[in-house]
Structure 1
Amino acid sequence: MRADLTLLPLLALAGFAAGGGMRLMDPLLPLLAADFRVGVAAVAPVVAGFSLAYGAGQLITGPLGDRYGKLRVAAIALLLYGLGLAASAAAWDLSSMIVLRTATGLVAGAVIPLAIAWIGDAVPYAERQATIGRFLTGMVMAQLLVGPLSGVVAEVAGWRASFLLLAAMALLVGGLMVRRAPAEAAAGRGRGLGLGQYLVLLRAPAGRRLMAAAALDGAALFGGAFPFVGAFLIERFGLSPGRAGLVVAGFGLGAFLYTRLAKRLVAWLGERGLVAAGGAGLAVALAGTAAAPGWWAVALLQVPMGCAFYMFHGVLQARASEALPEARATAVSAFAMALFLGQSLGALAFGAVLHAAGYGAVFAGAAVLTAWLAAWLARMPAR
């Protein structure tokens, strides 16, 4: 039965709140370091703890969504996330901040995968990628806005105010979701927590291929190319951190463009054409970044790179939502965990490449891996 898609704007707001947790800390690290009287490097575990918990928590929240209802579990997770943000604003030293941010990450990671799984229940597969694109508007806007706004708020009222504002939004949206969740809660399937569904997914060749693709996607892009663009602009071309941030923001504009065009692109190119075109566009943009003669060239490539990435990555998300229809939240959570695992391994591998051969080798290597992955995915069956 088709679900009520009037919930989609509310889910996009939930995606904004949850996705904002990743970007919230970007401008705040020096302020936290000064407040806690440590060096900036000492604050790194605050970021790492949140990211690792964000991925690890999905081991449980996916099966919980299948058992008790995706919207209900996502709403409760968002409320706990809001409480965690508020508690983090009261952190009294670095150790307490690390513990609170890590605990917050455990529930933050539930929201977006469960929302995508709910869309999988609500929307036929042929329309799913375009609908997921509409939902991702919230997360994309978080990537664009939360970092800069967090910095502005912190300058005016301190870093704790940035946490409290995002906490208020998460609590408000979570409360609204709780009001809408009961009708969907009856869709919970099975008895017990259902962790065995992960084994069901991995026993299927298509499931293993999808998890491998997610890990490679995370390694090449989330852990490989994207994190190094800002540092590349600063070290190679002498941009200030602020100007580098403005250049990289073009990626978010390209992602937003995709959310507006997703329905037309899917109808025009089809799934295989979309993953092939998106992968090819990413490979070309990354190769161009590797050979960029100036910062302006990197800036020109950011918008098409953002659009191409979501064309490519959106296909993987849609396939994850159909990998295990009887336990859809578990499948999407497994996809997200594979992505984070690949991101972690990719950061280590491409960090070694950077140390040995420089930024050009990092972007060129990511371009080659992305092109190969896109070609492989384009040959795979759609479902």
Structure 2
Amino acid sequence: MVSAPAASDTSAVRILPLLAAAAFATGCGMRLLDPVLPLIAAELRVTVAEVAVLITAFALPYGLCQVILGPLGDRFGKLRVLTIGLTLYGLMMAACALAGAMTPLIALRAATGAAGGAIIPLAMAWIGDNVPYAQRQATLSRFMTGMVMAQLLTGPISGSIGQLFGWRAVFVLVGGVALAAAAAIVFKLGKRLWQTSVAGTAGSGFANYALLLRRQTGRRLLLAAFLDGLLLFGGAFPFIGSYLIQSFHLEPWHAGLVVAGFGLGSLLYTRIARLLIPRLGEAMLALVGGLLVALSLVLLAIASSWQVVALIQAATGLFFFMFHGVLQARATEALPEARATSVSAFAMALFLGQGLGSVCFGALLARGGYGLAFGVAGLLMAALALWCRVAVTAPRPATPAP
């Protein structure tokens, strides 16, 4: 049975800008490597494919630490654990600038990913606790404005700063943004952040993971998240900046601007989600979005100029969130009695897929170039969208009890 939210959505409206700021800091850390991978590779004297392990180094701890971060959020308070994680994330991000070789840089990226895992999943779980399901996807889209702005701004800023001051300056800047966001949350909430809440969830945190896995809808949702991460988060998306630099000979700042076009489409989604959801319904929204993402990847494989890539990027931002936004909303309702645990499980599956995806895409890249890699990703994405329509989005969640 689906439980009703613990509080009215007015509390979510008040704190939503702070959560969006935290998402912005996290999104910057995820995407800052896109235009500077070649710069890091050149300074550390390795190939771009070898530097791609930094994507995995962030994603795997981000995903694996969800095992404990979700239960911690349910036990000690979602916003409290989020704020601590955001602070550690900022410190570790800035420390990456001190790395003089790949080994310490990989270790610091891993620590950053582990701390960053507490941010977006716990924010989504908190929204799930406080916003009824009928309004939840639209609210989540507004929260994800922070992530979208990171998509929009991180590429050009990272590319420009990397070219002017070196890639280390990019890590320092993003670390500072995260620490500022954490300070804003502490200032806004004050003593309320540290007050012990009476809370409780059904069973222990690890027992809740078992409960989620026993549900067919839960298993299918986690598999969809894993494949989403494998094909997109770790597979195709992080390599578009390198594709532009190596195939079309763009400067890092220029490639960053093109990559940022993804954010334009994403921003459009956050503005029109409340219109699309009632018109199309969740199932059709995810199907159409997923198939259009697949088409975009195939078109990337045969793009003839960077201008074509720029147009594709902008459209892909909208298509991606049409698909991914539905999965996010379902994650907040997969285990209502322990939302932090269920959303963390979703994030764990997503980023475990991302970690494997960068390795698989790198292998395809080494074997057949960008055309083969993007083409295969597009075909597999089409299959994922069709499977999700049948297995994931077909059942509708129960209506919350009054």
Q: TM-score range by the shorter chain?
A: 0.7 to 0.9
C-alpha displacement at 1:92, in angstroms? 6.6
C-alpha displacement at 1:14, in angstroms? 0.6
Match of 2:344 among 330, 333, 336: 333
Match of 2:353 among 342, 348, 358: 342
Counterpart Cα distance in 1 of 2:76 and 2:182: 16
Counterpart Cα distance in 2 of 1:142 and 1:214: 21
Counterpart Cα distance in 1 of 2:255 and 2:24: 23
Instruction: Tell me what 2:317 maps to.
Output: 306
Match of 1:122 among 114, 130, 138: 130
Counterpart residue type for residue 298 of structure 1: V
Distance 1:289 1:161, change over 3 A: closer
Task: Answer yes or no: is the 8 Å Cα contact 1:286–1:364 preserved in 2.
Answer: yes
C-alpha displacement at 1:285, in angstroms? 1.8
C-alpha displacement at 1:192, in angstroms? 8.5
Instruction: Tell me what 2:74 maps to.
Output: 66
SS across alignment from 2:295: helix
Counterpart Cα distance in 2 of 1:8 and 1:240: 36
Distance 1:136 1:186, change over 3 A: same
Q: What's the TM-score once normalised by structure 2's chain length?
A: 0.84
Task: Answer yes or no: is the 8 Å Cα contact 2:296–2:312 preserved in 1.
Answer: yes
Instruction: Tell me what 1:21 maps to.
Output: 29
- Counterparts of 1:51-200 in structure 2, within 5 Å, are 51-91=59-99, 95-153=103-161, 161-178=169-186, 179-180=188-189, 182=193, 186=197, 188-190=199-201, 194-200=205-211
Task: Answer yes or no: is the 8 Å Cα contact 2:155–2:253 preserved in 1.
Answer: no
Instruction: Tell me what 1:2 maps to.
Output: 8
Counterpart Cα distance in 1 of 2:366 and 2:171: 35
Counterpart residue type for residue 306 of structure 1: G
Counterpart Cα distance in 2 of 1:29 and 1:111: 25
C-alpha displacement at 1:61, in angstroms? 0.8
Distance 1:78 1:134, change over 3 A: same
Counterpart residue type for residue 65 of structure 2: G
Residue 284 (structure 2) pairs with residue 273 (structure 1): yes
Q: Deviations over 1:116-146 (max 9, x none)?
A: 1111111111111111111111111112223
C-alpha displacement at 1:159, in angstroms? 5.2
168-177 or 124-133: which moved more? 168-177
Counterpart Cα distance in 2 of 1:161 and 1:291: 34
Distance 1:25 1:362, change over 3 A: closer
Instruction: Tell me what 1:245 maps to.
Output: 256
C-alpha displacement at 1:329, in angstroms? 0.9
Q: What is the percent sequence identity of the aligned residues?
A: 55
Distance 1:250 1:24, change over 3 A: closer
RMSD value, Cα: 2.9
Match of 1:259 among 260, 270, 279: 270
Counterpart residue type for residue 74 of structure 1: L
Counterpart residue type for residue 395 of structure 2: P
Q: Deviations over 1:302-342 (max 9, x none)?
A: 21111000010000010011000111111111111111222
C-alpha displacement at 1:364, in angstroms? 3.0
Counterpart residue type for residue 144 of structure 1: L
> Unmatched 5+ residue regions in structure 1?
none
Distance 1:148 1:233, change over 3 A: closer
Counterpart Cα distance in 2 of 1:154 and 1:234: 14
Task: Answer yes or no: is the 8 Å Cα contact 1:30–1:40 preserved in 2.
Answer: no
Counterpart Cα distance in 1 of 2:35 and 2:236: 21
Instruction: Tell me what 2:3 maps to.
Output: none
Instruction: Tell me what 2:370 maps to.
Output: 359
> Unmatched 5+ residue regions in structure 2?
1-6, 398-402
Distance 1:124 1:28, change over 3 A: same
Counterpart Cα distance in 1 of 2:74 and 2:267: 30
C-alpha displacement at 1:215, in angstroms? 1.3
Counterpart residue type for residue 73 of structure 2: G
Counterpart residue type for residue 2 of structure 1: S
Q: What's the TM-score once normalised by structure 1's chain length?
A: 0.88
Counterpart Cα distance in 2 of 1:60 and 1:378: 31
Instruction: Tell me what 1:381 maps to.
Output: 395
Counterpart residue type for residue 273 of structure 1: M
Instruction: Tell me what 1:211 maps to.
Output: 222
Task: Answer yes or no: is the 8 Å Cα contact 2:158–2:253 preserved in 1.
Answer: no
Counterpart Cα distance in 2 of 1:358 and 1:30: 16
Counterpart residue type for residue 124 of structure 1: P
Counterpart Cα distance in 2 of 1:45 and 1:361: 20
Counterpart Cα distance in 2 of 1:371 and 1:185: 46
Counterpart residue type for residue 240 of structure 2: V
SS across alignment from 1:196: helix
Counterpart residue type for residue 265 of structure 1: L
C-alpha displacement at 1:25, in angstroms? 4.1
Task: Answer yes or no: is the 8 Å Cα contact 1:32–1:43 preserved in 2.
Answer: yes
